Amino acid sequence: MSRGRSRSTTRRGFAVLGVAIRRERWVFAASTLGSVLFGALTVADAWVLGWATDHAIVPAFRDGEVGTGVLWTVVALFVGVAMLRAVGIVARRLGAGVMQYRMQAHDRRAVTRQYLALPMAWHQRHPTGQLLSTASSDVEAAWGPIAPLPMAVGTIAMMVIAVAQMLAADVVMAVVGLLVFPAVVATNLIYQHFTSPLMTRAQALRGEVSEIAHESFDGAMVVKTLGREPEETERFAAKALELRDVNIRAGRIRAAFDPTLAALPNLGVLVVLAVGVSRVLSGATEPGDVVTVAYLLTIVSFPIRSLGWLLGEFPRSVVGFDRVRAVLGATGEMAYGDRSFPHPDRGARLEVAGLSYSHADDQTLLRDLDLVVEPGRTVALVGATASGKSTLTSLLARLVDPDSGAVTVDGVDLRDLARGELAGTLAVVPQTAFVFDDTVRGNVALGAAVSDEAVWHALRTAQADGFVAALPDGLDTRLGERGTSLSGGQRQRLALARALVRRPRLLVLDDATSAVDPEVEARILAALRRDGGSDGTSDDEAAAPDTTLVVVAYRKATISLADEVVFLADGRIADRGTHAALLARNPAYARLVNAYEQEHPLSDEPAGPVTPGTPGTPEEARP
Amino acid sequence: MSTVSPSGTRMDTGEDIAALETIRRGIRFSPELTEGFRTTLLLAVLAAVGQVVVPVAVQQTLDHGLGAAGGPDVRFTVLMGLAAAAAIAVTGVASYLMTSRLFSTSERGLATLRTKAFRHVHDLPLLTQNTERRGALVARVTSDVDQVSQFLVFGGLLFIVSLGQMAVATVVMAVYSWQLTVVVWVCFAPLFLSLRFFQRRLTAAYATVRRQVGAMLSAISEPVVGAAVVRSYAIEARTQRRIDEAVAAHQAASTRAQGLTAFSFSLGGISAGLANAGVIVIGIQLGLAGELTAGRILAFAFLVTLFVGPVQMGTQILTDAQNALAGWRRVIGILETPADLVDPGETGHDLPRGPLDVRFEGVTFAYPGGPPVLHDVTLHLAAGTRVAIVGETGSGKSTFAKLLTRLMDPSAGVVRLDGVDVREIRGGALRRSVVLVPQEGFLFDDTLRANLRYGRLDADDAALEAAAAELGLGDWLAGLPRGLDTRVGQRGESLSAGERQLVALLRAQLADPDLLVLDEATSAVDPALEMRLGRALEQLMRGRTSVTIAHRLSTAEKADEVVVVDGGRVVQRGPHAELVAQPGVYAGLHASWTAQHGDPAGSR
């Protein structure tokens, strides 16, 4: 933005328009042609009237009669000129519209491509509401001057002709009259100077207003339950009022700019008259020449006004353009390699070596982690709240890259993989499920070519088939934005089905069943248990037989499925081994996973064996 | 909470409000818009008159001053020059004052409108908010409002002035020749008639444009919020396709509307051509009949331009206004969507401090168009008791919590707190006394301190730390590198899901409610912490009525009473020890729970 200040807003405004003209030169040409046609035919109207006077009115009153042919010609000329002028109007306005909307759509596509390409770290710094404002308000502002552009360009021809005629009539008066132009430039510079900072602020405020609205609507539940509507409204109103004040200040300047521009040619006429009278009195010029120059100056006043409409849009346009460029110029996209996996048909081997990761504010979240999971094995990640488990799953899914060390799958560093390759192999089910504004089918398949049977199969494994079947349109039921019309547990199961339907070779569950109640979770676990539980309910093989499984879990039933347990504490691996071994030798681990029993010892109860295939049947009830 | 409601309550789109009605209602929501209207209108008329005076004065100077027979008349020229200068000054000042007054009233009116609409979104039931996509809601308080401003400054008033100019021009024309005036009006009649036709089309076209803006923002916001999913499933291409479709739909709608606008506007010029031709042709006929002179016909032809100018200006304003009106309608649409949860306001009941007595009397709840989620529930929870609600996912537990905290009102029956129908309790009093801690605590992109203060606005750091200590979270707070100054990120995403739940609990602790409702509020924290929290929450529940939606039966075991919900009905209730001994739903849930936390590995 500082670079923008150093150059004049007017020049930058023209540069922005240059971008649009170069990209849409034909549409621009058509609409400018329309504008020229309109201008020419406006002049033609006067000519037609003159023709009608000479050929119809005068002869008619002279002769006391008039020929029908002449009258029809008058009608044809007037209507013909009007029709052509209408064509000009349509070409100018529609052309400007097409050009404007094409540029907007182009930028919106480019901006949203950036949103999708930029890394998570960038998104964490840029609130959703701001990004929405850039895609809508800033893009709109950037291309705002396109609307008055053809008119301004079209009238410039008029101005050039008028100036040439003025010079031909009387050079001294013409030069005096042409002083209007430097005055226009000066007025414009003053306007841009005062308006630009206000427009910069206004666009930023538009972003902030959008940001508060988005965040506040997003957190509507909390706002409502804590009765904070008045405070939220105050927070929003503060920005809305600031935007109002900036807009009013900018508006006052605009209110002075427009009439000043309109007055300049008129003042020019007065000066020309003053000079003209003295020149006529001194015999230096003829009264007719004064009339010509004065008349031509009034003709110039319209182009100057239409130029004013164009220039008036510049400050906002330049600011919008800069804000859009800032997004387009943002870097930090993840680099991808070109490697693919060597064995795409069997469980993946996961290796984490010397992995460290710290947050933007220097908070180290993971320190020097080493971990190997052989194909088909199940590893449980156990650790206290905020011990780094979710950070690790983000690294496994390559949502972020490590500060040092590497994650490799089947011997390939994730950073060397081709774009999209990892997603075909690994699926992560996050703690907080995200549901798209789409049908159930769309949410599970996410565009992958999978049959309805496969979708139902995955839903069954995730224990989501029951509630989906009960939805009014089954798989075709649309779920609201962010799936808020489903309960937390239902969303988690949908997210699980989404992972399962892809038959991943490496499945990472990040506490993905925390909102599901135990009974349902037990059924999910039973379906996921590959080598059969005590009663072998292996009717399901949604995960390929030797899918490698990494599970973040607290519940012992989940942990006990694992071949190995990795116990995380403060971003390090504190211990690893089987659940039983850790339980026996690591008191911190035992405290963590046995917390429920310690609170309420189930000493009188032999724990298990359980039948996860038929949980919830009352015969397990204990008196 | 198990049913989606595709046919759920919809936000009023406002699309069927007529143009003048839109302005009328808009003014009702933003009374600032009419402030000082007469003065502004006077200034507008002054500016309009001045615009005509300047060229006339110049014309007079040229014709009679400079070009006077027998050399330039200096005196006349100077006089007229001064008159023109005065007219320029008056025009400039009047139009400056008019425009800046208009900017001021418009922006003030729109800020009020924006804020009212924002507030009203929060007053709508969660149900309505869910059916309207988030991005589209944001569009209504941002982009839709922005559209109105241009119209208010450069449209509305100038349209009235144009009408005035048309009237004046008509009168002047009629003085010259009433017959030709009729001709002019007949020539313009098709335009005026077609305007109605085009207005309807334009209204529909711009309504589509505004709707597409909302849809586009929704399509853009979704993958931004769900950035992690989009990346981990590598569905960028599909997501981009969805966005591109929305962008293209908006582009197509805008272009179509612009085409209609251009076409409709161009008709004015054709009418003007017809009128000019008509004046000459009919004028000649009248002249031949001895009614008019040639000079009068020509003078009349110039008068027609005085009529055509404002007609074209008016047509342009009218067509351009449609976009603004479409935006305005959508904002008004929000404000006119009834807030189902009507706050009785100051006439409502207050709640006394102290634990609340809760009654459900024949409460049934169904989402619009869906089957009942709760059937005829009648239940009494005595003041000061700790109640656990258990049941399978989708059994209606969360609905129960939402009715209890008046996030929704029942379809039938009454929820009473201390004997008062919740619908008759003042909103502020209800929120003061009743707090729900949801499963996913939403955090604002701010510091931890600001987020905790959401529970009690005047809490100082000491109070926040004390609250954390009371819940046994002092270590956690102390362990954060920046303590209360920690930035939590958008939606609190810099914290783990478990930590976000801790913040939600701390907020409730600070809010100090008389009825505490916990909806699986500790599902994402580790077991050791959960048990610690459980003990702390017991402290918190002392002296209050508490309802806990539990997915861990350890909570149920400690409750004074367990309410078992199944298929939207209360099927069992009583203390844990009693229920677990009976065959039934509770015993089944309990068995499953023990299976989960028993240790199969150890037992093999």
Indicate if the pLDDT at residue B538 is higher than 90. Answer: no
- Label residue B75 by pLDDT band (50, 70, 90): confident
Copy the structure tokens of residue B20: 């003048």
Last residue of a domain, one of B294, B311, B340: B340
| Chain-centroid distance, C-alpha B275 | 46
Distance (Å, whole) CA A444 – CA B177: 76
Whether residue A344 is contained in a domain is answered as no
Which residues on A lie below 8 Å from B407 (Cβ)?
A: 221, 224-225
Of A71, A221, A423, the CB nearest to B234: A423
Is residue B249 located within the same domain as residue B172?
yes
State the nearest Cα–Cα gap between A494 and chain B, in angstroms: 13
List pLDDT tens digits, range B183-239: 999 999 988 888 888 888 999 999 999 989 988 988 898 888 888 888 888 888 888
Distances (CA, A) of B305 to A22, B129, B270: 38, 53, 13
Which residues on B lie below 8 Å from A498 (Cβ)?
A: 233
User: What dihedral do alpha carbons A530, A536, A537, A539 form, nearest 10°?
Assistant: 70
Choose among B64, B63, B57: nearest CA to B84.
Answer: B57
User: What dihedral do alpha carbons A166, A168, A172, A178 form, nearest 10°?
Assistant: 30
Indicate if the pLDDT at residue B47 is higher than 50. Answer: yes
Q: Cis before residue B371, ω within 30 degrees of 0?
A: no
**What is the rounded average pLDDT of the residues B39-52?**
87
What's the confidence (pLDDT) of residue A7? 59
Interface contact A101, partner B, CB < 8 A = yes
Whether residue B13 is contained in a domain is answered as no
- Label residue B596 by pLDDT band (50, 70, 90): low
Is residue B295 located within the same domain as residue B391?
no
- Minimal-distance CA residue of chain B relative to A246: B107
Contact B149 A247 (CB under 8 A): yes
List pLDDT tens digits, range B139-196: 889 988 988 988 888 888 888 888 988 998 899 889 888 999 999 999 999 888 888 8
Mutate which of B46, B142, B240 to disrupt the A interface (most A C-beta within 10 Å)? B142
State the nearest Cα–Cα gap between A380 and chain B, in angstroms: 14
Mutate which of A93, A133, A225, A524 to disrupt the B interface (most B C-beta within 10 Å)? A225
Distance (Å, whole) CA B509 – CA B365: 30
Is residue B109 located within the same domain as residue B224?
no
Whether residue B8 is contained in a domain is answered as no
Last residue of a domain, one of A268, A294, A328: A328
Domain count, chain B: 3
Q: Position of tokens 């239409």?
A: A306
What's the confidence (pLDDT) of residue A5? 47
Of A276, A399, A600, the CB nearest to B228: A399
Interface contact A608, partner B, CB < 8 A = yes
The CATH number linked to A276 is: 1.20.1560.10
Average pLDDT, chain A: 84
**What is the rounded average pLDDT of the residues B33-39?**
91
Is residue B326 located within the same domain as residue B413?
no
Interface contact A102, partner B, CB < 8 A = yes
Whether residue B4 is contained in a domain is answered as no
Distance (Å, whole) CA A13 – CA A11: 5
Whether residue A343 is contained in a domain is answered as no
| Chain-centroid distance, C-alpha B519 | 29
Contact B216 A487 (CB under 8 A): no
Whether residue B12 is contained in a domain is answered as no
Whether residue A183 is contained in a domain is answered as yes
Which residues on B lie below 8 Å from A364 (Cβ)?
A: none
* Residue A592 · residue A384 · CB < 8 Å: yes
Distance (Å, whole) CA A516 – CA B535: 23
Distances (CA, A) of A562 to A315, A506, A577, B214, B223: 62, 14, 10, 47, 34
Last residue of a domain, one of A269, A294, A328: A328
Is residue A258 located within the same domain as residue A362?
no
Tell me which of A563 and B4 has the higher pLDDT: A563
Is residue B334 located within the same domain as residue B376?
no
State the nearest Cα–Cα gap between A16 and chain B, in angstroms: 20
The CATH number linked to B487 is: 3.40.50.300
What's the confidence (pLDDT) of residue B132? 57
- Provide the 3-class DSSP secondary structure of residue A390: helix
What are the residue ranges of helices labelled H in A219-228? 220-225
What's the confidence (pLDDT) of residue A2? 42
Q: Which helix (H) or strand (E) holds B585?
A: helix B585-597
Choose among B203, B212, B214: nearest CA to B323.
Answer: B203
Whether residue A594 is contained in a domain is answered as yes
Is residue A163 located within the same domain as residue A130?
yes
Whether residue B369 is contained in a domain is answered as yes
Which residues on A lie below 8 Å from B154 (Cβ)?
A: none
State the nearest Cα–Cα gap between A1 and chain B, in angstroms: 24
What's the confidence (pLDDT) of residue B347? 84
Whether residue B10 is contained in a domain is answered as no
List pLDDT tens digits, range A311-358: 888 999 999 999 999 999 988 788 888 888 876 777 889 999 999 998
Number of Cβ pairs closer than 8 Å across A and B? 626
Is residue B364 located within the same domain as residue B459?
yes
Is residue A316 located within the same domain as residue A374?
no
Whether residue B303 is contained in a domain is answered as yes
State the nearest Cα–Cα gap between A579 and chain B, in angstroms: 8
What's the confidence (pLDDT) of residue B601? 37
A20: left (phi over 0), alpha (psi -120 to 50) or beta: alpha
ipTM score of the complex? 0.87
Distances (CA, A) of A595 to A5, A384, A404, B468, B531: 62, 11, 35, 21, 6
Domain of A230 in residue numbering reads as: 2-328
What's the confidence (pLDDT) of residue B131? 52
Domain of B258 in residue numbering reads as: 168-340
Contact A229 B123 (CB under 8 A): yes
Mutate which of B120, B224, B241 to disrupt the A interface (most A C-beta within 10 Å)? B224
Of B122, B227, B490, the CB nearest to A127: B490
Is residue B331 located within the same domain as residue B401?
no
Is residue A265 located within the same domain as residue A150?
yes
**What is the rounded average pLDDT of the residues B35-60?**
85
Interface contact A42, partner B, CB < 8 A = no
Indicate if the pLDDT at residue B440 is higher than 90. Answer: no
Distance (Å, whole) CA B72 – CA B62: 9
What's the confidence (pLDDT) of residue A139? 95
Of B96, B254, B591, the CB nearest to A618: B591
Is residue B435 located within the same domain as residue B302?
no
Domain count, chain A: 2
The CATH number linked to A413 is: 3.40.50.300
Average pLDDT, chain B: 85
Residues 6+ apart with CB under 8 A from B502: A385, B471, B473, B476, B525, B533
Contact A61 B593 (CB under 8 A): no
- Label residue B244 by pLDDT band (50, 70, 90): very high
Distance (Å, whole) CA B316 – CA A93: 11
Whether residue B539 is contained in a domain is answered as yes
Indicate if the pLDDT at residue A91 is higher than 60. Answer: yes
* Residue B561 · residue B385 · CB < 8 Å: yes
The CATH number linked to B299 is: 1.20.1560.10
Is residue A274 located within the same domain as residue A374?
no
What's the confidence (pLDDT) of residue B96? 94
* Residue B420 · residue B514 · CB < 8 Å: no
Is residue A376 located within the same domain as residue A286?
no
Is residue B308 located within the same domain as residue B185?
yes
Q: Position of tokens 């050079």?
A: A171
Whether residue A206 is contained in a domain is answered as yes
Q: What is the CA radius of gyration of chain A?
A: 37
Helix count and strand count (H, E) for chain B: 22, 10
Distance (Å, whole) CA B498 – CA A389: 11
Is residue B380 located within the same domain as residue B251?
no
Q: A11-25, A86-100, B211-225, B336-350: which has the minimum mean pLDDT?
A: B336-350
- Provide the 3-class DSSP secondary structure of residue A125: helix
Is residue A273 located within the same domain as residue A371?
no
Whether residue A314 is contained in a domain is answered as yes
Of A214, A236, A477, the CB nearest to B115: A236
Contact B444 A609 (CB under 8 A): no
Which residues on B lie below 8 Å from A90 (Cβ)?
A: 259, 262-263, 266
Which residue type, as a one-letter code, is found at position A495? A
List pLDDT tens digits, range A529-557: 643 333 333 344 444 457 888 989 887 87
Q: DSSP state, B289?
A: T
Contact A85 B273 (CB under 8 A): yes
Contact B603 A254 (CB under 8 A): no
Contact B435 A225 (CB under 8 A): yes
What's the confidence (pLDDT) of residue B186? 93
Phi, psi of B344 (to 5 degrees): -65, -10
**What is the rounded average pLDDT of the residues B524-533?**
82
Contact B525 A136 (CB under 8 A): no
Of the ranges A234-238, A292-296, A484-488, the best mean pLDDT one: A234-238
List pLDDT tens digits, range A17-35: 999 999 999 999 999 999 9
Q: DSSP state, B471?
A: T
Is residue A173 located within the same domain as residue A269?
yes
Distance (Å, whole) CA A459 – CA A440: 10
Q: Position of tokens 């008191």?
A: A587
Tell me which of A88 and B50 has the higher pLDDT: A88
Which residue type, as a one-letter code, is found at position B78? V
Percentage of residues in chain B with pLDDT exceeding 90? 31
Is residue A127 located within the same domain as residue A170?
yes
Strand A506-510 to A548-552 pairing: parallel
State the nearest Cα–Cα gap between A375 and chain B, in angstroms: 21
Indicate if the pLDDT at residue A360 is higher than 70. Answer: no
Is residue B296 located within the same domain as residue B362?
no
Whether residue A341 is contained in a domain is answered as no
Last residue of a domain, one of B310, B340, B370: B340
Q: Which helix (H) or strand (E) holds B558?
A: helix B553-558
Copy the structure tokens of residue B498: 């478990």
Last residue of a domain, one of A280, A298, A328: A328
Interface contact A244, partner B, CB < 8 A = yes
Is residue A34 located within the same domain as residue A124?
yes
Interface contact A320, partner B, CB < 8 A = no
Is residue A315 located within the same domain as residue A379?
no
Indicate if the pLDDT at residue A475 is higher than 60. Answer: yes
Distances (CA, A) of A79 to A73, B72, B273, B289, B301: 10, 41, 5, 25, 15
Of B72, B121, B443, the CB nearest to A287: B72
Indicate if the pLDDT at residue B598 is higher than 60. Answer: no
Contact A622 B591 (CB under 8 A): yes
Last residue of a domain, one of B340, B367, B400: B340
* Residue B261 · residue B322 · CB < 8 Å: yes
Q: What is the CA radius of gyration of chain B?
A: 35
Whether residue A522 is contained in a domain is answered as no
Distances (CA, A) of A279 to A169, A265, A276: 13, 20, 5
- Minimal-distance CA residue of chain A relative to B558: A600
Choose among A542, A563, A532: nearest CA to A496.
Answer: A542
User: What dihedral do alpha carbons B213, B219, B221, B225 form, nearest 10°?
Assistant: 170
Is residue A323 located within the same domain as residue A417?
no
Interface contact A125, partner B, CB < 8 A = no
Is residue B367 located within the same domain as residue B291?
no
